[in-house]
Amino acid sequence: MTTIKDSITSEIITVKLSQLATQALIEEVNLSPKPGLVDRFNNGTHRDLTLQLMERSAYALQDSFRQMAEAAWNKNPSQQLREQLAAIGRYGEEKMLKATGNINTHRGAIWAIGLITAAASIELSKKEAIDFDLSEILATAGQIASFEDRYLPKQNTNGSSVRIKYSVRSAREEAQLGFPSIAKTALNAWKMYDHCSSDTLRLHVLLALMSQVDDTCILHRSDMQVLKEIQYRSKFILQNGGLTTRQNWHLYFDLDDYITHHWVSPGGSADLLAATIYLQKIKQYF
């Protein structure tokens, strides 16, 4: 039986999760300078995206994240929950497209951050004291993603085409495995560079992701050779001191020039960075 106290607690927490999710998206897009991505300085390699458009998109999704958190509260991962979250996500995508004039701004983020929102809601609803770690949230998100969505519309997306062509891990497979790119790469980088300023820390995390993730956003616009070069350059900067030296900042801007020249965008890494920022916000707040 749900008491009034339980109801108040769930409402406070689910609203807060949606607010933190939106804040994470806002902070990711405002992080500057980012190679090939929209930031405060320019629109990267995106002719149809702007900072203001990305922010408007993030705010349009906040209510959908709240609904996902509510749907998952005090539940276990199940096919029913998976399908309910997917329905909310598709509705959220419609609201996003309406807010952006039919421009895809955060489709990948809806998937990753939506799953993490639901997983965090499950974990928060089941603990008297908040003693979980972030790996538990990611594992629960993986359990949710492992269920089928029987109502998924049949569509050939850019990501699915790239996955078939290059045999790389899809966003869905990444989620089903418990987001290993976040658990093993992003969170480790966050810990390693925690002594840096907030922006520099997050740029290091972005570089760490770009050095490891087989980013389908890059592959969609180019090929495996370009992806491997971006991964190599990102890794080289990190292995030689990161963004703590003037020389490496020059290499970072060279990387930006290379990405711009090939007109690609590490959008998949950006989505995972936003999800990582979100997880850190959950950890800090709760």
**HEC secondary structure over 160-186:** HHHHHHHCCCCHHHHHHCCCHHHHHHH
On the CB side of 245, CA atoms within 13 Å amount to: 9
Rounded distance between C-alpha atoms, residue 77 and residue 281, angstroms: 23
Task: Give the model's pLDDT for residue 170.
Answer: 85
> What tens digit of pLDDT does each residue of 7-48 get?
668 999 999 999 999 999 999 999 999 999 999 999 999 999
Report whether pLDDT(4) > 60. no
Q: Which of 116, 93, 256 is nearest to 178 (CA)?
A: 116
Report whether pLDDT(228) > 90. yes
pLDDT-derived band of residue 286, with 50, 70 and 90 as boundaries?
Answer: confident
Report whether pLDDT(65) > 70. yes
Task: Give the model's pLDDT for residue 154.
Answer: 75
Task: Give the model's pLDDT for residue 61.
Answer: 98
Number of domains in the chain: 1
- How many Cβ atoms from other residues are within 10 Å of residue 160's Cβ? 14
Q: Residue 26 belongs to what domain range?
A: 4-285
Mean pLDDT of the chain: 93
Report whether pLDDT(5) > 70. no
Single-letter amino acid, residue 190: W
Rounded distance between C-alpha atoms, residue 8 and residue 18, angstroms: 16
Single-letter amino acid, residue 251: L
pLDDT-derived band of residue 6, with 50, 70 and 90 as boundaries?
Answer: low
Q: Both tokens of residue 176?
A: 């089903």
- Range with the lowest mean pLDDT among 6-15, 213-222, 227-236? 6-15
Cβ-in-10-Å burial (0-12, 13-18, 19+) of 277 comes to buried
Could you write out the three-class secondary structure of the chain? CCCHHHHHHHHHHHHHHHHHHHHHHHHHHHCCCCCCCCCCCCCCCCCCCCHHHHHHHHHHHHHHHHHHHHHHCCCCCCHHHHHHHHHHHHHHHHHHHHHHCCCCCCHHHHHHHHHHHHHHHHHHHCCCCCCCCHHHHHHHHHHHHCCCCCCCCCCCCHHHHHHHHHCCCCHHHHHHCCCHHHHHHHHHHHHHCCCCCHHHHHHHHHHHHHHHCCCHHHHHHCCHHHHHHHHHHHHHHHHCCCCCCHHHHHHHHHHHHHHHHCCCCCHHHHHHHHHHHHHHHHHHHC
